[in-house]
Amino acid sequence: MKSIIEKRSLNVRGALIALIISVGIPCFLLNIFLLSGFISVEQQPFGIHLIKDLLLIFHWIVSFIVVYAVLRKQNLSFFDIGLKLNRTGIIHGIGILIFSELVILLFFLVFVLSVDILGLGFLIMELSSQSHLEASLSLWIVLLIILNSIFEELVIRTFFLYTFLNRFKAQLIVVFLSVIIQISYHTLLYGQEWLLYISLAISSFIYSMYYMKFKNSTALIIAHTIHNLFAYGV
């Protein structure tokens, strides 16, 4: 399966700096907030603290500016690395969402059949009683969900994959690294709910493989947005 990723590549050092600003620093600060008691893993990421929401927006804006500057230095734009404004992105996005959810469902069905049914029932009951999305949906939260989906898919996933898929032949390793980065960005949200990490790893792997094949970030943004909207109770 031949990837259609373009041959133009980014400067790795600039890309790493952008990723540290976009992922590394926020994760460090979020852990500081967690230790200080300002936030907790039981809280949803949006809609609880206005200050935290505004800090997230500020972080997203800074990250977009940094990534944009790195792209412009290489005479590239977000459109060159996968942002496409066409109907295909909508169709593919819905398809990716359905496919990834079916794969996750199949995985857990196999999991149920493979372990002690009583023990698994306990795990499922415990997991279902720990909702990490607590507040009701509002226009403000919808806006934050959309912005977060754009940030995660365009900056964290697309920018990383575009940079390193063009640099290394071991593309599956790059995809797995992308999955690890996505998981690390959700550690405060999921806490120790390890079944959610498995779901995230599966969907993230499917999303990254899709990008490697089709290089369409719009589809990923749409799939991510719809998934999160349903997770918040649409």
Q: How many other C-beta atoms are found inside a 10 Å radius of the C-beta of residue 100?
A: 20
User: Measured between alpha carbons, how far apart are the two ends of the chain, in Å?
Assistant: 37
Q: What pLDDT, on a 0 to 100 scale, did the predictor assign at position 69? A: 86
Q: How many other C-beta atoms are found inside a 10 Å radius of the C-beta of residue 197?
A: 15
Q: How many other C-beta atoms are found inside a 10 Å radius of the C-beta of residue 192?
A: 9
Q: pLDDT tens for residues 166-187?
A: 777 788 999 998 898 888 777 6
Q: How many residues does the chain have?
A: 234
Q: Tell me the C-alpha to C-alpha distance, in Å, between residue 97 and each of 17, 62, 91, 157.
A: 31, 29, 10, 16
Mark the ranges of the chain whose per-residue pLDDT is less than 70.
Answer: 1-12, 14, 23-49, 112, 114-137, 187-193, 233-234
Q: What pLDDT, on a 0 to 100 scale, did the predictor assign at position 92? A: 95
pTM: 0.80
